[in-house]
Amino acid sequence: MRTITLSPNPQNLDTLFEQARHEDLIVQFADGSQFMLTALDDFDLEIVRTRRNKKLMAFLDQVAQQQETIPLDEVKRRLGLE
């Protein structure tokens, strides 16, 4: 990952985006604020959408806190797989 400092009025952002196709960039402005510029694919976008799904994330948090387990033999019995 590389850090690039931009001038107060950057002229050619196309070059910056082209570089981000090949490597993640940290873009730093004159005031010191920094942003990450990275290329996304469909899977990256799906992760972002999933994380924004509050109901799903709450459900996953709830499931992660469960400590009770069901033995495999019991699962098979309940599903009639014995």
Q: What pLDDT is attached to residue 7?
A: 67
Q: Which strand ranges, in their side-by-side order, compose the sheet holding 25-28?
A: 2-5, 25-28, 34-37
Q: What domains sit in the chain, N to C, each tagged with a CATH number? A: 2-37 (3.40.1620)
CA separation for the pair 23, 12 (Å, rounded): 18
Q: How confident is the model at residue 10 (pLDDT cuts 50, 70, 90)?
A: low
pLDDT 10s digits, 39-54: 888 898 899 899 999 9
**Cβ within 8 Å of residue 8, ≥6 positions away:** 29, 30
Q: What pLDDT is attached to residue 1?
A: 65
The pLDDT mean for the chain works out to 86
